[in-house]
Chains A and B, each alone.
Chain A
Amino acid sequence: DIVLTQSPATLSVTPGESVSLSCRASQGISTSIHWYQQKSNESPRLLIKYASQSISGIPSRFSGSGSGTDFTLSINRVESEDFSVYYCQQSYSLLYTFGAGTKLELK
């Protein structure tokens, strides 16, 4: 199975800061990585597909980059509604896997 390692596990930030969340794959997966946001007691929401493709309805402050094994989700100027958990997921293999998540919390 393809293992996705997200770092850091927790990121403490102040609103207005810009942040980068990392997702590293155990093997090369081209750009077959997707990012999700999950707020407490809610279903996950797709933010970015195929590493950098934007999703309709998602604020433009969310962006993604990377290919191969290293991927980044960037949030430009974090807003209060962004404090939640973020997951990456790969579709290079049909045996899909998720990373363990990065919790973005208020400093």
Chain B
Amino acid sequence: EVQLVESGGGLVQPGRSLKLSCAASGFTFSDYYMAWVRQAPTKGLEWVASISYDGGSTYYRDSVKGRFTISRDNAKSSLYLQMDSLRSEDTATYYCTTANGWFAYWGQGTLVTVSS
């Protein structure tokens, strides 16, 4: 059974940093691009960042470019999102997903709240 389990969310002040993690199991992690998708409270889905099979290529939406860094450790079947210089508009539930074009598998999400 495919499982994606996010962790690391919480309350953080504007301008501070937070690192999200996603532990994957039940599939060959290195066979998949991976991504983070977020959803602000009562809003729609928003793609944040993606990473290639070996981590050699990364892609970001403009609003997080230069502030967020996506990375992966295939030996640990883990995906990460380092979020720096956080803003109130980054408040959302962050989902870890497989991303070979479409988002087939999703985690349960971890809530990040940016507030003073």
A interface with B by C-beta (< 8 Å): 1, 32, 34, 36, 38, 43-46, 49-50, 55, 85, 87, 89, 91, 94-101
Interface flags, B81-116, vs A, CB<8A=1, else 0: 000000000000001000101111011110000000
Main secondary structure of the interface of A (DSSP, over half): loop
Indicate which residue in B46, B95, B101, B106 contacts A32 across the interface (CB closer than 8 Å): B101
Q: Is B11 on the interface with A (CB-CB < 8 A)?
A: no
The residues of B that contact A97 with a CB separation of less than 8 Å are: 47
Indicate which residue in B44, B46, B101, B109 contacts A43 across the interface (CB closer than 8 Å): B109
Identify the 9 closest CB pairs spanning chains A and B, nearest first. Answer: A91-B101, A96-B47, A43-B106, A34-B102, A98-B45, A49-B102, A101-B44, A100-B44, A94-B59
- Contact across chains for A34 and B103 when beta carbons are under 8 A apart: yes
